[in-house]
């Protein structure tokens, strides 16, 4: 039984759910960021899978998915840098990285 | 001819003096006046003068004195303002007289339709429908009116030097007088409806400013007199009512012909639907009803008596009320094209107003108010004259009465002003009630004799100006076979003679006077009145002469309307109708003489009070048929009632909707805002939960529904 699209999709879905759980349930801001990274990469896996198993053109000439994935990795890197910088700033200000206590935007 | 082409000088001269005074000399007057010093001297003077009758309520704003605030001495600048006004108006008046004589003696110098575009300015173009032009035009009708306006204005200007002496608002007064004259001249020179309407509104503005000139003066409910501020507003608002009809009429004409120009209209309206044209002309007449104070929009004119008396003279003789008559005369050719109903409306409104106002004037005790109602009545005559003139006479009869009336009515008012001025100096308060006059003839002889001349003129005593013009109108009504109007105008002529002689005797004569009570007698007021200064009496004398000779222009009808029959002594005195008119006037005069110069006032009073019919009639007439009360009621309950309903609609319905929506949102927001926890993760749950739900819905739809 070779590798099929479903393997990719299931892997992506599992990774996404793990990431989602981490992003929602963790109280440490760093852990939340890690969850988000996992979600992004879950999407990357799905994109690459779709790209590889497409039925329109040969794989070598149909790179949209891969390019998209690379873009996401790039953006994710930037996002991580910004988000970590914010976490550090919040930590300096409030001496905590617990997201349940970061609720200045409350009503 | 060059003479006519430069007649725009007459038009713009008063504007020039207005500008010079308001931006030049008046500013100088204000700046050079020692403010503080004036306030204190005035207060002291005031305290001395009032004899304690006014109490101690004059503080900083203690100018609730009847008169306008006085200054001890006019500044140089104020005096110059007066001279500027007089000098420039003199130029205009002289120029207009030259124009009059030139056009009368050299009729060929003027083209048949007058001279167009003596000054024109293209206001704006509007696509294909044409352009709106400010254009002025001169013809015989304009020149006849021009002479009246400039002459009366000049005399009023001179007269005001005496009447407004030491008035703090001296410069302002002259500025307004000039503006008033300019506004009226805009109407006189108007070449199209657009310009006449601009002048129309300018006249309204100027009269508003001048009637309300004494802004500090209060209402006098015990004399049924409003405050000048209220009176000026009333004049303005009542004119707006008439103007609604005027505007609609102009718009109907414009919609049907595409032009405002009078001469083009005269040609174009012949293609119009006659019914529409008739309606338009009646609507246009509504404007004249308002401006010339005809029933039912007459009540602003008696209220306008609250303005300074020279202004009343100007309004009643030359400017404001004459505008309505002049306008109808100006659009006379359009009326000729319309159904005769249009002219009938003009004539009947005029006739009814003449009678209506004359009956009110019979019993009024306020000196100026008698004159006010007499003006309304005489304006009624003018409209009768216009209404019955027809193609044969043209606007001649109506305009002739306007022409003669201008002189004797200005004279009457200026005499009244002279009396008021004299009484003010004698009593140190404002006296307008004739019951506090009497016997003034020996004390103010020039005023009395000129007033008597004007009385004769307005009563239609033969050989005075009013006789010729009024008799022509009365005769014409019968010539047109209109018996109703004939009887009304004839009867009114008798009433006119009665109330004018009554006013004269009450003010100047008395039962114990000379010449059987006509000259002098007991003075019922306080103090000792004296004759007014020459600046005031000279205009009186000039006007008295004019009140006699103005009627001898027998070619007037032909001058305005080529081919109209001329008056002549032969035609006047060979007609039996003339004698009926004379007899009516004489009967009126004799009745007034017997009632007021031979019978004691107290006895007369008792006779009226003891007779139920007379008493009721007197009360109804004295209260002006309760029309003022009715208008007051309408304004108070109908108009303000509607306003309250509208206000309630706004407050409860409109605001209710707006506030209801707002409070509903607020109500929702109060609970919903609890979801804004400020914690990113709870938002995330909402977001992904929503996505999950949507995904489930899509999945179900894609799988099962398709």
pLDDT in tens, B571-608: 777 777 888 888 988 999 999 888 888 887 788 888 88
3-state helix, strand, coil in chain A (%, to 5): 75, 0, 25
Q: What is the pLDDT of residue B52?
A: 39
Q: Is A78 exposed, middle or buried (0-12, 13-18, 19+ CB in 10 A)?
A: exposed
The Cα B283–Cα B281 span in angstroms is: 5
B139 and B110 Cβ atoms separated by less than 8 Å: yes
End-to-end CA distance of chain B: 96
Give residue for tokens 């009336």. B405
pLDDT band of residue B129 (cuts 50, 70, 90) is low
The Cα B360–Cα B299 span in angstroms is: 12
Task: Enumerate chain B positions whose Cβ falls within 8 A of a Cβ in A.
Answer: 673-674, 676-681, 684-685, 688
- Calculate how close chain B gets to A97, using CA atoms only, in Å: 13
Structure tokens at B472: 């022509």
Indicate yes or no: CB of B679 within 8 angstroms of CB of A20: no
- Average pLDDT value for residue range B190-213: 90
Neighbours of B71 (CB within 10 A): 20
Q: What is the pLDDT of residue B130?
A: 67
Percent of chain B topping pLDDT 90: 21
CB-nearest to B678 from A20, A23, A105 is A105
- Calculate how close chain B gets to A65, using CA atoms only, in Å: 22
pLDDT band of residue B127 (cuts 50, 70, 90) is low
Query: Model confidence over B526-558: pLDDT tens digits?
Result: 778 888 888 888 889 999 998 888 888 888 888
Cα distances (angstroms) measured from residue B79 to each of A4, B49, B164, B178, B424: 111, 25, 11, 15, 22
Indicate yes or no: CB of B681 within 8 angstroms of CB of A99: yes
Q: What is the DSSP letter of B428?
A: S
Task: Read off φ and ψ for residue B168, nearest 5 degrees.
Answer: -65, -25
Query: Model confidence over B615-629: pLDDT tens digits?
Result: 888 888 888 888 888
Q: What is the DSSP letter of B131?
A: E
Task: Read off φ and ψ for residue B429, nearest 5 degrees.
Answer: -150, 175
- Calculate how close chain A gets to B675, using CA atoms only, in Å: 8
Structure tokens at B73: 């001495």
The Cα B219–Cα B240 span in angstroms is: 23
CB-nearest to A103 from B673, B679, B688 is B679
Indicate yes or no: CB of B678 within 8 angstroms of CB of A99: no
Task: Read off φ and ψ for residue B116, nearest 5 degrees.
Answer: -80, 160
Query: Model confidence over B138-167: pLDDT tens digits?
Result: 888 888 899 999 999 999 999 888 888 878
**Which residues on chain A are in Cβ contact (under 8 Å) with B673?**
107
* E strand or H helix that includes residue B278: helix B274-291
Residue of chain A whose Cα is closest to the Cα of B669:
A107
Task: Read off φ and ψ for residue B277, nearest 5 degrees.
Answer: -60, -45
Give residue for tokens 């014409």. B476
Residue of chain B whose Cα is closest to the Cα of A104:
B678
The Cα B649–Cα B20 span in angstroms is: 49
Q: Residue B314 CA to chain centroid, in angstroms?
A: 9
Indicate yes or no: CB of A107 within 8 angstroms of CB of B679: no
The Cα B178–Cα B183 span in angstroms is: 9
DSSP three-state, residue B139: coil
**Which residues on chain B are in Cβ contact (under 8 Å) with A31?**
none
Angle of CA points B270, B274, B275, to nearest 5°: 160
A48 and A69 Cβ atoms separated by less than 8 Å: yes
Question: Residue B237: which of B311, B304, B314, B143 has the closest Cα?
Answer: B304
Note whether A48 contacts B: Cβ–Cβ < 8 A.
no
Structure tokens at B544: 């008295």
Q: What is the pLDDT of residue B42?
A: 47
The pairing of strands B130-138 and B115-126 is antiparallel
**Per-residue pLDDT in tens (0 to 9) along chain A, 107 residues:** 688 889 999 999 999 999 999 999 988 999 999 999 999 999 999 999 888 888 888 877 888 888 999 999 999 999 999 999 999 999 998 888 888 888 887 76
The Cα B684–Cα B675 span in angstroms is: 12
CB-nearest to B673 from A99, A102, A107 is A107
Note whether A99 contacts B: Cβ–Cβ < 8 A.
yes
The Cα A41–Cα B577 span in angstroms is: 118
Go through chain A and tell me how many residues it has: 107
pTM above 0.80, yes or no: no
Is the pLDDT at B55 greater than 50? The verdict is no
> Which residues, 6+ apart, have CB-to-CB distance to B188 below 8 Å?
B142, B145, B146, B149, B199, B326
Q: What is the pLDDT of residue A79?
A: 92
**Which residues on chain A are in Cβ contact (under 8 Å) with B690?**
none
The Cα B259–Cα B195 span in angstroms is: 13
B51 and B65 Cβ atoms separated by less than 8 Å: no
Note whether A100 contacts B: Cβ–Cβ < 8 A.
yes
Query: What residues form DSSP beta bridges with B131?
Result: B125
B137 and B7 Cβ atoms separated by less than 8 Å: no
Indicate yes or no: CB of A32 within 8 angstroms of CB of B673: no
Question: Residue B213: which of B160, B176, B161, B166 has the closest Cα?
Answer: B176
**Which residues on chain B are in Cβ contact (under 8 Å) with A19?**
none
**Which residues on chain A are in Cβ contact (under 8 Å) with B679?**
99-100, 102-103, 106
DSSP three-state, residue B132: strand
CB-nearest to B676 from A25, A99, A106 is A106
SS (H, E, C) B622-658: HCHHHHHHHHHHHHHHHHHHHHHHHHHHHHHHHHHHH
The Cα B142–Cα B121 span in angstroms is: 19
pLDDT band of residue B128 (cuts 50, 70, 90) is low
pLDDT band of residue B116 (cuts 50, 70, 90) is confident
The Cα B369–Cα B386 span in angstroms is: 26
B422 and B532 Cβ atoms separated by less than 8 Å: yes
> Which residues, 6+ apart, have CB-to-CB distance to B7 below 8 Å?
B95, B99, B118, B138, B146, B189
Give residue for tokens 């002739």. B400
Structure tokens at A37: 């990274």
**Biggest alpha carbon distance in chain A?**
55
Give the ipTM: 0.84
Among the residue ranges B443-452, B524-533, B586-595, B692-701, the one predicted with the least confidence is B524-533
B664 and A93 Cβ atoms separated by less than 8 Å: no
Structure tokens at B303: 């209220």
- Average pLDDT value for residue range B348-370: 89
Structure tokens at B350: 């005029």
Structure tokens at B396: 């001649």
A104: cis peptide before it, omega within 30°? Answer: no
- Calculate how close chain A gets to B216, using CA atoms only, in Å: 59
Q: What is the DSSP letter of B595?
A: I
Structure tokens at A44: 């990357």
Q: Residue B535 CA to chain centroid, in angstroms?
A: 25
Indicate yes or no: CB of A24 within 8 angstroms of CB of B677: no
**Which residues on chain B are in Cβ contact (under 8 Å) with A24?**
681, 684-685, 688
pLDDT band of residue B49 (cuts 50, 70, 90) is very low
Q: What is the pLDDT of residue B304?
A: 86
pLDDT band of residue B56 (cuts 50, 70, 90) is very low
Note whether A106 contacts B: Cβ–Cβ < 8 A.
yes
Percent of chain B topping pLDDT 70: 94
Is the pLDDT at B64 greater than 50? The verdict is no
Q: Could you tell me how many CB contacts below 8 A there are between chain A and chain B?
A: 33
CB-nearest to B678 from A23, A24, A104 is A104
* E strand or H helix that includes residue B118: strand B115-126
- Calculate how close chain A gets to B658, using CA atoms only, in Å: 25
Q: What is the pLDDT of residue B45?
A: 45
Task: Read off φ and ψ for residue B312, nearest 5 degrees.
Answer: -60, -45
**Which residues on chain B are in Cβ contact (under 8 Å) with A105?**
676, 678
Task: Read off φ and ψ for residue B368, nearest 5 degrees.
Answer: -70, -30
DSSP states of B374-426: HHHHHHHHHHHHHHHHHHHHTTHHHHHHHHHHHHHHHHHHHHHHHHHHHHHHH
b/e burial code for range B72-109 (CB count within 10 A of at least 16 → b): eebbebbbbbbebbbebbbbbbebbeebbebbbeeeee
């Amino acid at each position: 039984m070779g590798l099929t699209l479903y393997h990719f999709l299931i892997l992506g879905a599992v990774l996404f759910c793990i990431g989602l759980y981490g992003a929602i349930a963790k109280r440490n801001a760093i852990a939340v960021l890690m969850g988000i990274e996992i979600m992004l990469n879950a999407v990357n896996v799905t994109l690459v899978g779709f790209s590889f198993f497409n039925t329109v053109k040969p794989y070598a000439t149909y790179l949209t998915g891969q390019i998209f994935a690379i873009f996401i990795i790039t953006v994710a890197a930037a996002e991580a840098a910004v988000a970590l910088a914010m976490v550090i700033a919040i930590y300096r200000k409030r001496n905590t990285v617990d997201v349940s206590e970061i609720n200045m935007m409350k009503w | 001819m060059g003479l006519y082409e430069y007649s725009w000088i007459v038009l713009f001269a008063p504007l020039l003096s207005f500008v010079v005074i308001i931006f030049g000399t008046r500013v100088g007057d204000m700046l050079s006046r020692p403010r503080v010093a004036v306030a204190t001297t005035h207060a002291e003077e005031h305290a001395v003068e009032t004899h304690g009758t006014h109490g101690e309520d004059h503080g900083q704003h203690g100018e609730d004195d009847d008169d306008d605030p006085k200054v001890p001495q006019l500044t140089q600048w104020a005096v110059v303002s007066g001279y500027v006004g007089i000098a420039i108006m003199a130029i205009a008046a002289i120029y207009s007289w030259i124009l009059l004589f030139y056009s009368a003696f050299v009729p060929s110098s003027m083209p048949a339709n007058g001279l167009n575009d003596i000054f024109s300015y293209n206001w704006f173009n509007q696509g294909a429908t044409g352009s709106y032009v400010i254009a002025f035009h001169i013809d015989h009708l304009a020149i006849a009116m021009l002479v009246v306006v400039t002459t009366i204005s000049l005399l009023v200007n001179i007269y005001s030097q005496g009447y407004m002496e030491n008035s703090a608002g001296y410069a302002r007064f002259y500025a307004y007088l000039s503006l008033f004259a300019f506004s009226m001249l805009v109407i006189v020179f108007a070449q199209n409806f657009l310009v006449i309407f601009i002048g129309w509104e300018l006249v309204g503005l100027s009269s508003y400013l001048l009637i309300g000139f004494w802004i500090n003066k209060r209402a006098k409910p015990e004399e049924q007199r409003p405050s000048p501020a209220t009176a000026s507003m009333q004049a303005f608002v009542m004119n707006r009512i008439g103007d609604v009809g005027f505007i609609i009429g102009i718009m109907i004409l414009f919609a049907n012909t595409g032009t405002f120009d009078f001469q083009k209209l005269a040609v174009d309206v012949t293609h119009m639907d006659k019914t529409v044209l008739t309606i338009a002309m009646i609507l246009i007449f509504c404007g004249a009803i308002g401006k010339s104070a005809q029933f039912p929009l007459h009540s602003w004119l008696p209220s306008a008596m609250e303005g300074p008396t020279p202004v009343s003279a100007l309004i009643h003789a030359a400017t404001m009320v004459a505008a309505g008559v002049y306008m109808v005369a100006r659009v006379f050719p359009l009326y000729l094209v319309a159904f005769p109903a249009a002219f009938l409306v003009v004539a009947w409104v005029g006739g009814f107003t003449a009678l209506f106002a004359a009956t009110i004037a019979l019993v009024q005790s306020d000196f100026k108010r008698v004159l006010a109602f007499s003006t309304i009545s005489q304006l009624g005559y003018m409209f009768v004259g216009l209404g019955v003139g027809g193609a044969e006479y043209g606007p001649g009869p109506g305009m002739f009465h306007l022409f003669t009336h201008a002189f004797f009515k200005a004279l009457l008012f200026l005499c009244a002003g002279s009396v008021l001025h004299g009484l003010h100096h004698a009593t140190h308060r404002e006296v307008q009630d004739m019951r506090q006059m009497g016997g003034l003839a020996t004390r103010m002889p020039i005023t009395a004799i000129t007033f008597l001349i004007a009385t004769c003129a307005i009563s239609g005593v033969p050989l005075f100006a009013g006789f010729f013009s009024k008799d022509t109108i009365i005769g014409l009504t019968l010539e047109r076979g209109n018996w109703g109007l004939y009887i009304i105008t004839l009867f009114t002529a008798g009433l006119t003679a009665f109330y004018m002689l009554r006013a004269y005797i009450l003010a100047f004569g008395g039962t114990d006077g000379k010449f059987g009570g006509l000259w002098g007698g007991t003075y019922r007021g306080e103090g000792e009145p004296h004759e007014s200064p020459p600046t005031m009496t000279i205009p009186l004398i000039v006007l008295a002469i004019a009140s006699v000779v103005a009627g001898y222009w027998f070619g007037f009808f032909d001058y305005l309307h080529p081919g109209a029959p001329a008056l002549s002594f032969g035609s006047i005195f060979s007609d039996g109708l003339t004698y009926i008119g004379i007899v009516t006037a004489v009967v009126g005069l004799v009745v007034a003489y017997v009632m007021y110069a031979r019978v004691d006032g107290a006895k007369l009073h008792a006779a009226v009070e003891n007779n139920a019919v007379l008493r009721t009639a007197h009360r109804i007439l004295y209260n002006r048929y309760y029309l003022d009360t009715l208008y007051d009621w309408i304004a108070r309950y109908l108009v303000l009632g509607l306003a309250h309903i509208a206000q309630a609609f706004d407050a409860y319905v409109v605001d209710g909707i707006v506030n209801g929506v707002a409070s509903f949102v607020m109500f929702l927001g109060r609970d919903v805002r609890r979801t804004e926890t400020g914690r990113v993760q709870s938002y995330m749950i909402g977001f992904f939960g929503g996505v999950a739900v949507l995904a489930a819905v899509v999945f179900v739809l894609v799988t099962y529904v398709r």
